């Protein structure tokens, strides 16, 4: 039975990846950090099928211990401070976790488990103020936030360990991917959750920032498949993963409200607090390398994603008011 270690298993992607790997017959080890309350909301339905162990990307020895104890065949580093606005208010913490945390886990692999295959959760945020449209593996980086800068470091240190220490290490450059399990502060979930609350009379308005930003939004369940596929190749290599279709925040809002029979103009308040010091205006992926080499294709489109998220938030709100 192959063994996979997932950091960030309590996050959106960690939960989908754990489900996917269990379905493929893996023993799944999930690293969680210590907290004063339980953070297993997204994995409670599979909690009995996975091994949960404590560790933290701040703490080198906890990572070495994990490698020595479990000798995972595959390591998926999904843990990060992943929210862009928080990276402006907590840039040092973001650098510690999202940048240096990658070196700590690579060092743990190099010292204690060098045969492991390593996946780093890289991101389209590294393209930031984009130098070309659409963006592919060779597009130059121009990050626009401390988060983006930290992820550039994580991306390049992964390439460096591959080239210097002969590790099987890859960076998956994933564009935005969402789901009903997306954190409530990210714009897609913020919108679909607000739609459900407004529809049920629990809220009257939604406050948003820049409506003109464009993103290439896909479904998280599709993207975790691509992570696994990257680690099954003969040679390690980096891949861009996205749908190739871009939409504005305004488009997302329009469709989500319309799907619930509402007009977003009646509820939207533009709010300075949600604008960023520097914005990423346009992201759209050229995933042809992933399509050709991995044979990866997304299965859920933009409209399908919005419907899935609104439906799930409607059910959630209905349960709350029952």
Give me the residues that bind ligand NAP (CB under 6 A), please.
7-8, 10-14, 33, 35, 39, 56-58, 78-82, 97, 121, 123, 174, 176-177, 183
Asked if 125 is part of the footprint of ligand GDD (rule: CB under 6 A), the reply reads: yes
Residue with tokens 């070495």: 64
Q: Which does 39 bind (CB under 5 to 8 A by kind): ligand GDD, ligand NAP, none?
A: ligand NAP
Residue with tokens 């933290």: 56
In sequence order, what are the beta bridge partners of 207? 269
Asked if 274 is part of the footprint of ligand GDD (rule: CB under 6 A), the reply reads: yes
Asked if 244 is part of the footprint of ligand GDD (rule: CB under 6 A), the reply reads: no
Cα dihedral across residues 284, 184, 42, 151: positive or negative: positive
Q: Which does 78 bind (CB under 5 to 8 A by kind): ligand GDD, ligand NAP, none?
A: ligand NAP
- What is the Cα–Cα distance from 150 to 128, expressed in whole angstroms? 13
Q: Which does 285 bind (CB under 5 to 8 A by kind): ligand GDD, ligand NAP, none?
A: none
Of the candidates 53, 44, 43, 55, the one whose C-alpha atom is nearest the C-alpha of residue 15 is 43
Q: How many residues lie near ligand GDD (CB under 6 A)?
A: 23
Counting Cβ atoms within 10 Å, is residue 273 exposed (0-12), middle (13-18) or buried (19+)?
exposed
- What is the Cα–Cα distance from 244 to 163, expressed in whole angstroms? 30
Interacting span for ligand GDD (CB under 6 A) from 134-142, 184-192, 221-229, 284-292: 184-192
Q: Which is nearer to ligand NAP, 14 or 134 (CB)?
A: 14
Asked if 130 is part of the footprint of ligand GDD (rule: CB under 6 A), the reply reads: no
Q: Which does 7 bind (CB under 5 to 8 A by kind): ligand GDD, ligand NAP, none?
A: ligand NAP
Of the candidates 18, 21, 5, the one whose C-alpha atom is nearest the C-alpha of residue 75 is 5
- Catalytic site residue from 103, 123, 139, 188: 123
Enclosing H/E stretch for 311 = helix 302-321
Contact pick of 67, 213, 226, 306 for ligand GDD (by CB under 6 A): 213
Contacts of 212 (CB under 8 A, 6+ apart): 248, 249, 250, 281
First to last CA, the chain: 44
125 is catalytic: yes
Q: Which is nearer to ligand NAP, 198 or 224 (CB)?
A: 224
123 is catalytic: yes
* Residue 266: C-alpha distances to residues 10, 130, 156, 193, 317 (Å): 36, 33, 45, 16, 21
Asked if 209 is part of the footprint of ligand GDD (rule: CB under 6 A), the reply reads: yes
Catalytic residues: 123, 125, 147
| Residues at the site binding ligand GDD, with contacts judged by CB under 6 A | 82, 84, 123-125, 175-176, 185-188, 190, 208-210, 213, 215, 249, 274, 276, 279-280, 283
């Amino acid at each position: 039975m192959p063994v996979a270690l997932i950091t960030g298993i309590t996050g959106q992607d960690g939960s989908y990846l754990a489900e996917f790997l269990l379905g493929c017959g893996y023993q799944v080890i999930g690293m969680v950090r210590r907290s004063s309350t339980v953070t297993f909301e997204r994995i409670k339905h599979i909690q009995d099928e996975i091994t949960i162990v404590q560790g933290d990307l701040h703490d080198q020895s906890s990572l070495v211990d994990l490698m020595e104890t479990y000798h995972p065949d595959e390591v998926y580093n999904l843990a990060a401070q992943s929210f862009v606005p928080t990276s402006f208010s907590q840039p040092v913490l973001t650098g510690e976790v999202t940048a240096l945390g990658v070196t700590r886990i690579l060092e743990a692999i190099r010292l204690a488990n060098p045969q492991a295959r390593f996946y780093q959760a890289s991101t389209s945020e590294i393209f930031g103020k984009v130098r070309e449209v659409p963006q592919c593996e060779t597009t130059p980086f121009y990050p626009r936030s401390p988060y983006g800068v930290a992820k550039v470091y994580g991306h390049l240190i992964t390439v460096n360990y591959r080239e210097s220490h002969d590790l099987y290490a890859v960076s998956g450059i994933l564009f935005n991917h969402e789901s009903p399990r997306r954190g409530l502060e990210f714009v897609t979930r913020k919108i679909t959750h607000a739609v459900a609350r407004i529809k049920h009379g629990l809220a009257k308005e939604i406050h948003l920032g820049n409506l003109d930003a464009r993103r290439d939004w896909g479904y998280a369940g599709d993207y975790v498949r691509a992570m696994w596929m990257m680690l099954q190749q003969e040679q390690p290599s980096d891949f861009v993963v996205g749908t190739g279709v871009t939409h504005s925040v305004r488009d997302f809002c329009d469709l989500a409200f319309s799907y619930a029979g509402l007009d977003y103009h009646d509820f939207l308040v533009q709010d300075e607090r949600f604008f960023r010091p520097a914005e990423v205006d346009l992201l759209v992926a050229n995933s042809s390398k992933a399509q050709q080499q991995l044979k990866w294709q997304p299965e859920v489109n933009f409209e399908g994603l919005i419907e899935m998220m609104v439906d799930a938030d409607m059910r959630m709100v209905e349960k709350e008011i029952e």
